[in-house]
Amino acid sequence: MLIKRPADIKSSEITPERVYFNRRAFMQGAAAAGSLAATTGLYYLFAGINRRPPSAPGPRPLATVIPSDPALTTEEPPTDYDDITHYNNFYEFSTAKHDVAYESQALVTRPWTVVVGGLVNRPRTFDVDDLIRLFPLEERVYRLRCVEGWSMVIPWVGFPLSGLLKLVEPLGAAQFVAFETLHDPKQFPLQRSRLLDWPYREGLRLDEALHPLTLLAVGLYGKTLPNQNGAPLRLVVPWKYGFKSIKSIVRITVTDRMPRTTWREAAPHEYGFYANVNPQVSHPRWSQATERRIGEFTRRPTLLFNGYADQVASLYAGLDLRKFY
């Protein structure tokens, strides 16, 4: 992946005083929140990375958000909203993480159609708002571990992918699920380049796709997804490296073949289909033993399956995790 090695991350990219924008802090009062927002805003203003074109609509509050099953959400403090929304990988827009927020503001996310088909009894084409209305929206606070060696904690809002798959009824022959991002070079400037083989594609085994942790996210921090985080609909698979969590999805196809996936095709010796977080399997160019949690100063150990081993290890019983990385 085109990345900055951890050693190349300048100290100026780290906010001097971390201000947690978590719900508890938020509830402590509007005055405190106002001053937090001003502090954070000033930081980004001076850093020159909070440049939203004035015409772009910002994220809107999401109506019904039900708390999640405590077994499916972490109590760890969420990463700052500004970090989650200004340190992004979205190669259709830019390879520079701090530029994605600005470059993505013009993406038109309504109307938006999601085609769900393949080996299913009931293929359907959804308007994204109709799709979102079909499911109760849950908040799920998940760790996100990027293959590059950084991590965040993100309070997503969404619904389990299993709900959608059950609706379309996979056939007995189904074994995998394939996902595709919108292909529209007019809106995604780097789709005019040959940086990757567009559109961005990802895939899961059917049992991974049906796992209760596997989420279709439509928001974060109680609001609709900012464009840079994959509006209007993206996948989140918290025990796998972040590149599996494909953004701005328009097509979901149930299939009997292992799907083509973008990074595996770009560099098969570096990125596998499974991409399960594993501190013992190094990337050919760097170790995966530790990670930098955005907002922290020292590195911390990376956990097998990103700390979700209790929930997901059984999916891989008998599989050689070094061979199927």
Q: Is 302 in the site for ligand MTE (CB under 6 A)?
A: no
User: Shortest Cβ distance from residue 171 to ligand MTE (Å)?
Assistant: 27
**Between 30 and 59, how does the x/- string for binding to ligand MTE read (CB under 6 A)?**
------------------------------
Main-chain phi, psi angles of 40, to 5 degrees: -65, -45
Give the C-alpha separation, 242 to 195, whole Å.
19
User: Shortest Cβ distance from residue 244 to ligand MTE (Å)?
Assistant: 7
Asked whether 157 and 139 are in contact (CB, 8 A), the reply is yes
Q: Kindly tell me which residue out of 243, 273, 308, 325 binds ligand MTE, with binding defined by CB under 6 A.
A: 243
Task: Name the residue nearer to ligand MTE (CB basis): 89 or 255.
Answer: 89
- For residue 188, the number of C-alpha atoms closer than 13 Å in the C-beta half-sphere is 25
Asked whether 191 and 198 are in contact (CB, 8 A), the reply is yes
Scanning 118-126, 157-165, 239-247, 300-308 for contacts with ligand MTE by CB under 6 A, the matching segment is 239-247
Q: Is 188 in the site for ligand MTE (CB under 6 A)?
A: no
User: Shortest Cβ distance from residue 144 to ligand MTE (Å)?
Assistant: 6
Touching ligand MTE, residues 189-218 (CB under 6 A): 200
Touching ligand MTE, residues 248-277 (CB under 6 A): 248
Q: Is 89 in the site for ligand MTE (CB under 6 A)?
A: yes
Q: Kindly tell me which residue out of 94, 229, 261, 276 binds ligand MTE, with binding defined by CB under 6 A.
A: 229
Q: Kindly tell me which residue out of 140, 211, 247, 251 binds ligand MTE, with binding defined by CB under 6 A.
A: 247
Q: Kindly tell me which residue out of 92, 103, 208, 291 binds ligand MTE, with binding defined by CB under 6 A.
A: 92
User: Shortest Cβ distance from residue 169 to ligand MTE (Å)?
Assistant: 27
Q: Is 146 in the site for ligand MTE (CB under 6 A)?
A: yes
Q: Six-digit token pair at 266? A: 């770009």
Q: Kindly tell me which residue out of 90, 142, 221, 239 binds ligand MTE, with binding defined by CB under 6 A.
A: 90
Q: Is 294 in the site for ligand MTE (CB under 6 A)?
A: no
Task: Name the residue nearer to ligand MTE (CB basis): 243 or 273.
Answer: 243
Would you tell me which residues interact with ligand MTE (CB under 6 A)? 88-92, 144, 146, 181, 200, 229-230, 242-243, 245-248
